[in-house]
Amino acid sequence: MDLRHTMKGRRVMAAVAISTGLLLTVSGCGGGDGDGKPKAVSSSSQPAAEGGAKQASPTASQDQVLAEVKGENGITLAVTSAKRDQGGFVTVEGTVTNNTDSVWIAADWRGDERELSKNGASIAGASLIDQKGKKKYLILRDTSGRCLCTQFTGGVSQGETTQWFAQFPAPPAGTDAVDFQVGSMPPASIEISEG
């Protein structure tokens, strides 16, 4: 009886491992558009642990700001992109500017969930809120509980602006107006575009 349960448990674990590997392989695959030029890497392919504050996202647009909110004694959050990807998720990108008089470490942006405690100094507590559909979409996580988002490693120095990204499950097709919320910052109303 114990051998049968052990073998069944091993088969389940193997199936989970294979499914996870396939999912990561498919999400990591991407190609150019056939013109011979390398395609810009989206921030969704960056590992969460390496998404530090000094690292710029190549797809964030500096010219277009979808929304900007101010709060937390001089922190300014701007959303520059919100794209629905074919994989069933939304990638939101933007910048955060530290206008305080000291280093800002994003302590209350990591979220309250116990699983998110390993995501200190990150934007892991962010969410998308669909007011019309009355749903809240929490940030995506890998199998280790790490958010698919930027970690502000070392904090953001006084006067600095740094880029960030966060990935969420996609709201249903046709739902384009959502609010981006993180920490005690006011909600930022944004429009999701097709990626």
| pLDDT number for residue 144 | 86
| Contact of 98 with 159, CB cutoff 8 Å | yes
Looking from the CA of 121 toward its CB, the CA atoms found within 13 Å total 14
In a domain, 18, yes or no: no
- pLDDT value at residue 33: 47
Q: Per the domain annotation, does 25 fall within a domain? A: no
Q: Is the residue at 114 inside a domain?
A: yes
Residue 180, beta-bridge partner list = 128, 188
Encode pLDDT of 85-117 as tens digits: 988 999 999 999 999 999 998 888 887 777 777
**Which residues in the chain come in under a pLDDT of 50?**
1, 3, 5-7, 16, 22, 24-27, 29-61
What are the distances in angstroms from CA 129 to CA 160, 190, 195? Answer: 28, 10, 19
Report pLDDT for 158.
93
Structure tokens at 98: 């530290």
Total structural domains within the chain: 1
Q: How many CB atoms lie within 10 A of CB 6?
A: 10
CATH at 124: 2.60.40
3-state secondary structure the chain: CHHHHHHHHHHHHHHHHHHHHHHHHHHHCCCCCCCCCCCCCCHHHCCHHHCCCCCCCCCCCCCCCCEEEEECCCEEEEEEEEEECCCCEEEEEEEEEECCCCCECCHHHCCCCHHHHHCCCECCCCEEEECCCCEEEECCECCCCCECECECCCCECCCCEEEEEEEEECCCCCCCEEEEECCCCCCEEEECEEC
β-partners of residue 94 are: 79, 164
Containing structural domain, residue 65: 48-194
Q: Is residue 157 part of a domain?
A: yes
d(CA 55, CA 163): 7
CA distances from 187 to 39, 170, 178 (A): 33, 18, 9
